[in-house]
C-alpha cells in the first residue's frame, strides 16, 4: 500500500513542479536513509543525543543546500538552525529527565510484549534524540521561509538597514507562525486519536490522561517542535538581516 | 507608547498566570482519586544483571522507596514499598527523592507529570506571544479551541456515530475557525477554506480508493492493537485529520500570494497567475513535506531500537513496523502536493470570477 502511495506522490510532484519534483523526492529518500542509519547507529549503543545532532546537521545541509542551493539565504538558515538546536538540546534533556517519558507506557505493553526488555540502552537519551529529530522539520521550514522572504525584501528595497530588515522578518514570522502551529496541531491530533479513543473507551479522566506516559511522550514531542519553530523565527530574522547587510556592503 | 505599555502588561499577565498554574499543579494532590506519594527516601537493596538472548546486559536494581501519602484518607501516613528499576527504563521509571508518584494497590503506578506538561505549555504560550504578539495570542486560542472540539467530539463516536462523518463535520469547523483566525474575513480566507475542504475531501477519497485496491497489504497495525474498536476505520479518520493542518497551510499560503499578486496588478492574466502560483508552491512544498516527515517518523524510534536489540534485521523491521508512520507521512505529503494546483484553481476562480482575461 505504501509503495502505491509513494508512486502517487512522485507522480504528483513531477506534475506540479517538473524536474524539481524529482529532486525533492530524492531528498525525501536521502532523509529517510539518514534517519534510518542514525537510528541504527543508536541501536548499537552510541550516544543517541550526539548521533541525533549529527543527523540533524546532515539533514539540514541536504534540505537547505541540495534542494534550495547554496546561497546567502540557506547559509543564514543553517546557522540559525544550529543555534536553535544547541539552545534546545539541554532544555530537552532536562525535561525528558524530569518527566520520565523514556520508554513505553502501559498502553503500548501489548505491542512490545514479544520483545525482551533487557536491551542495555538508556531510553532517556533516546527520547531526547527522538524529540530533536522530530523538531528539525518544522524548524527548517520556518527558518527557510523567513530567510527567503527577507532576501526578497532586501532585493526590492536595497536601502534597508539591518534593524528594518529584522523588523520585517518578525512581521513575516507572525504570518507563518499561525499556519505552522496548525500543521503541527493536526499532525499531533491525527496521531493522538488512537490514544484518545483508547482513553475514552477505558473511561480515563482528563487528569489521568495528562499524567500518563504515552500521552506525555507525544505531547512533549509536539510542544518542542512548536518551540523550535517559534525560536528559529527571531534568530533567523536577526542573522539573515545582519548577513544581508554585510553582503551588500562588500 | 501606550501600545507598548499594553504589550508589557499582557506579558506580565501571562507570566503570572503561568506561575500560578505551575504552583497549583504542585499542590493539587486533592484533585486525584488515586493515592499520591511523595518520595522521601530511596535505598538500593539489591541489584542483578540479566541478559537477553543476544547477550546484552541489563542492570536491574531493587529499591526500597519511602514516602508520605499526600491525599485521600491516608493523608500524612508514611509508606514504604519495593520497586524494581532497570538501567534502560523501557517499561520502568527511575524515580528520585522529591518525585510524586501515583500508588495503586501498594505499588507505584507512574509519575505525576502534570507540572511538566503545564510548564511546557506556559513556555510555548509565552514564546508565541513574544514572537507573534497579538497574533500569537490568537494562535494559542485557536489551538485550544480546536483541541477542545476534537476532545469533546470523540464522545459522539463512543455514542455510536460514524467516526469518519464526525471528522468531516469537524474539519468544516476546524478549517473555518483556524483560517478565519489566521487571516481574518476576506476573499483570501474564503478561497483558502474552499480549497482546503476540496483538497482534503479529495484526499480522503483517494485514501479510501487506495485502501480498497490494496486492502491494507503490507500494513502492520500492531501499534494500534490496544484499541477495542475496529482500528482500520480509526486509521482512515486519523489520516484525514492528520493531513488537514498541512493542507490548510498550503491553501492559505497559495491564496494570500495570489491575492497579493492581483492586488499589485489588477490586469494580471490567469496564465501568469498560475505560473507564479506554481513557483510559490514549489518553494513551500519541500520544507512542508519535511515537517510531516520528521514529526511522524521519529515516533518509531523507541520501538525500532527495541526490535533491533532483540535481533530483528533492519529491513525486516522497516517493512514490518514503520508502515503506519510511512502511510501517515505519504498521505499527508500527497495532500500537500495536490493542494497546490487545486488551491490555485479555486483561488483564481474566486478572485477573477467568470471574467475572461
Cell triple for residue B140?
A: 494559542
Q: Is B57 helix (H, G, I), strand (E, B) or coil?
A: strand
The string over B19-55, giving b where at least 16 C-beta atoms fall within 10 Å of a residue's C-beta and e elsewhere, is eeebeebeebbeebebbbbebeebeeeeeeeeebeee
- Judge: A184–B131 Cβ closer than 8 Å, yes or no: no
Q: What CATH number belongs to A48-103+121-249?
A: 1.20.1640
CATH of the domain at B44: 2.40.50
- Judge: B243–A102 Cβ closer than 8 Å, yes or no: no
Positions in chain B short of pLDDT 50:
1, 356-357
**Residue B336: how many CA atoms within 13 Å on its side-chain side?**
31
**B3 within a domain of the structure (yes/no):** no
- Judge: B282–A182 Cβ closer than 8 Å, yes or no: no
Give the whole-angstrom CA distance, residue B112 versus residue B306: 26
Q: Residues 300-329, chain B: which have Cβ within 8 Å of A?
A: 300-310, 314, 318, 323, 326-328
- Judge: B178–A182 Cβ closer than 8 Å, yes or no: yes
**B145 within a domain of the structure (yes/no):** no
B253 neighbourhood in chain A, CB within 8 Å: 179
B303 neighbourhood in chain A, CB within 8 Å: 111-112
B95 neighbourhood in chain A, CB within 8 Å: 100
**B155 within a domain of the structure (yes/no):** no
**B149 within a domain of the structure (yes/no):** no
Final residue of a structural domain among B72, B91, B112: B112
- Is A134 touching B (CB cutoff 8 A)? yes
- Judge: B306–A212 Cβ closer than 8 Å, yes or no: no
Give the whole-angstrom CA distance, residue A118 versus residue B87: 9
With beta carbons less than 8 A apart as the criterion, state whether B249 and A142 touch: no
Same domain, B89 and B185: no
Q: Is B218 helix (H, G, I), strand (E, B) or coil?
A: coil
What is chain A's pLDDT, residue by residue, as a tens digit (250 residues)? Answer: 888 888 989 998 888 888 888 888 998 999 999 999 999 899 888 999 999 999 999 999 988 888 778 888 899 999 999 999 999 999 999 999 999 988 888 877 777 887 888 888 889 999 999 999 999 999 999 999 899 888 888 888 888 888 888 988 898 888 888 888 888 999 899 888 888 888 888 888 888 899 999 899 999 999 999 999 999 999 999 999 999 988 888 7
Under 8 Å CB-to-CB from A126, ≥6 apart: which residues? A42, A48, A102, B301, B302, B305
Same domain, B173 and B313: yes
Closest chain A C-alpha to B129 CA, distance in angstroms: 10
**What are the backbone dihedrals phi and psi of residue B51, each rounded to the nearest 5 degrees, phi first?**
-125, 145
B81 forms bridges with which residues in the sheet? B65
Cell triple for residue B32?
A: 486525584
Same domain, B211 and B271: yes
Same domain, B181 and B329: yes
**B17 within a domain of the structure (yes/no):** no
A231 neighbourhood in chain B, CB within 8 Å: 127
pLDDT of residue B1: 47
Same domain, B221 and B86: no
**Which one of A6, A189, A195, A216 would you mutate to disrupt binding with B, by most B Cβ within 10 Å of its Cβ?**
A189
Q: Is B310 helix (H, G, I), strand (E, B) or coil?
A: coil
Sheet holding B78-86, edge to edge: B78-86, B57-69, B35-51, B100-104, B107-111
**B22 within a domain of the structure (yes/no):** no
- Judge: B285–A13 Cβ closer than 8 Å, yes or no: yes
ipTM score: 0.92
A109 neighbourhood in chain B, CB within 8 Å: 91
- Biggest distance spanned by C-alpha atoms of chain B: 84
**B150 within a domain of the structure (yes/no):** no
Cell triple for residue A25?
A: 523526492
Which of B59, B101, B94 minimizes the C-alpha distance to A100? Answer: B94
**Boundaries of every domain in chain A:** 1-44, 48-103+121-249
Cell triple for residue A82?
A: 544550529
Same domain, B282 and B168: yes
pLDDT of residue A77: 93
- Judge: B87–A122 Cβ closer than 8 Å, yes or no: yes
What DSSP state is assigned to residue B50? E
**B26 within a domain of the structure (yes/no):** no
Q: Residues 36-75, chain A: which have Cβ within 8 Å of B?
A: 36, 39-40, 42-43, 59, 63, 67-68
Domain count, chain B: 2
User: Domain range holding B251?
Assistant: 162-352
Same domain, B185 and B38: no
Amino acid at each position: 500500500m505504501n509503495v502505491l502511495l509513494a508512486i502517487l506522490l512522485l507522480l504528483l510532484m513531477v506534475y506540479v513542479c517538473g524536474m524539481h519534483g524529482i529532486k525533492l523526492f530524492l531528498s525525501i529518500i536521502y532523509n529517510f536513509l539518514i534517519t534510518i542509519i542514525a537510528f541504527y547507529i543508536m541501536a548499537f549503543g552510541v550516544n543517541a543525543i550526539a548521533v541525533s545532532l549529527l543527523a540533524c546537521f546532515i539533514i539540514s545541509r541536504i534540505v537547505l543546500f541540495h534542494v534550495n542551493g547554496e546561497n546567502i539565504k540557506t547559509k543564514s538558515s543553517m546557522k540559525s538552525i544550529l543555534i536553535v538546536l544547541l539552545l534546545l538540546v539541554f532544555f530537552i534533556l532536562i525535561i525528558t529527565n524530569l518527566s520520565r517519558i523514556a520508554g513505553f507506557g502501559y498502553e503500548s505493553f501489548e505491542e512490545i510484549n514479544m520483545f525482551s526488555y533487557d536491551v542495555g540502552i538508556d531510553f532517556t537519551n533516546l527520547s531526547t534524540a527522538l524529540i530533536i529529530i522530530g523538531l528539525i522539520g518544522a524548524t527548517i521550514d520556518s527558518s527557510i521561509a523567513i530567510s527567503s522572504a527577507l532576501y526578497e525584501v532586501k532585493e526590492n528595497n536595497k536601502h534597508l538597514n539591518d534593524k528594518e530588515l529584522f523588523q520585517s522578518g518578525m512581521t513575516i514570522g507572525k504570518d507563518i507562525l499561525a499556519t505552522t502551529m496548525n500543521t503541527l496541531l493536526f499532525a499531533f491530533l491525527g496521531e493522538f486519536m488512537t490514544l484518545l479513543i483508547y482513553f475514552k473507551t477505558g473511561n480515563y479522566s482528563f487528569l489521568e490522561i495528562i499524567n500518563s506516559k504515552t500521552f506525555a511522550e507525544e505531547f512533549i514531542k509536539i510542544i518542542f517542535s512548536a518551540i523550535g519553530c517559534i525560536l528559529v523565527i527571531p534568530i533567523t530574522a536577526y542573522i539573515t538581516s545582519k548577513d544581508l547587510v554585510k553582503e551588500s556592503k562588500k | 507608547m501606550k501600545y507598548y505599555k499594553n504589550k508589557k502588561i499582557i506579558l506580565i499577565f501571562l507570566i503570572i498566570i503561568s506561575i500560578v498554574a505551575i504552583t497549583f499543579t504542585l499542590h493539587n494532590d486533592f484533585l486525584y482519586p488515586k493515592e499520591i506519594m511523595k518520595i522521601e527516601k530511596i535505598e538500593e537493596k539489591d541489584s542483578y544483571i540479566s541478559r537477553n538472548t543476544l547477550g546484552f546486559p541489563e542492570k536491574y536494581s531493587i529499591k526500597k522507596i519511602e514516602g508520605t501519602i499526600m491525599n485521600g484518607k491516608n493523608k500524612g501516613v508514611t509508606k514504604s514499598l519495593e520497586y524494581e528499576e532497570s538501567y534502560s527504563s523501557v517499561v520502568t521509571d527511575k524515580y528520585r527523592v522529591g518525585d510524586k508518584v501515583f500508588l495503586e494497590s501498594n505499588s507505584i503506578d507512574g509519575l505525576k507529570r502534570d507540572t511538566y506538561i503545564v510548564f511546557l505549555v506556559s513556555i510555548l504560550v509565552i514564546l508565541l506571544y513574544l514572537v507573534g504578539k497579538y497574533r500569537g495570542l490568537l494562535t494559542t486560542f485557536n489551538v485550544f479551541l480546536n483541541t477542545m472540539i476534537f476532545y469533546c467530539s470523540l464522545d459522539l463516536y463512543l455514542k455510536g456515530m460514524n467516526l469518519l462523518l464526525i471528522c468531516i463535520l469537524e474539519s468544516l469547523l476546524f478549517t473555518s475557525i483556524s483560517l478565519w483566525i489566521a487571516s481574518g474575513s476576506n476573499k483570501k480566507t474564503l478561497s483558502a477554506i474552499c480549497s482546503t475542504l476540496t483538497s482534503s475531501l479529495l484526499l480522503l477519497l483517494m485514501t479510501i480508493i487506495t485502501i480498497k485496491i490494496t486492502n491494507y497489504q503490507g500494513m502492520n497495525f500492531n501499534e494500534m492493537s490496544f484499541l477495542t474498536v475496529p482500528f482500520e476505520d480509526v486509521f482512515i479518520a486519523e489520516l484525514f485529520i492528520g493531513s488537514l493542518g498541512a493542507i490548510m497551510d498550503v491553501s492559505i499560503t497559495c491564496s494570500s500570494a495570489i491575492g497579493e499578486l492581483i492586488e499589485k496588478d489588477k490586469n494580471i492574466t490567469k496564465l501568469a497567475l498560475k505560473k507564479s502560483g506554481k513557483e510559490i508552491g514549489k518553494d513551500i512544498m519541500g520544507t512542508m513535506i519535511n515537517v510531516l516527515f520528521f514529526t511522524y517518523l521519529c515516533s518509531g524510534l523507541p520501538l525500532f531500537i527495541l526490535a533491533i536489540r532483540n535481533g530483528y534485521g533492519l529491513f525486516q523491521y522497516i517493512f514490518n513496523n514503520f508502515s503506519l508512520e510511512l502511510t501517515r507521512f505519504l498521505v499527508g505529503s500527497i495532500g500537500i502536493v495536490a493542494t497546490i494546483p487545486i488551491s490555485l484553481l479555486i483561488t483564481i476562480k474566486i478572485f477573477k470570477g467568470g471574467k475572461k482575461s
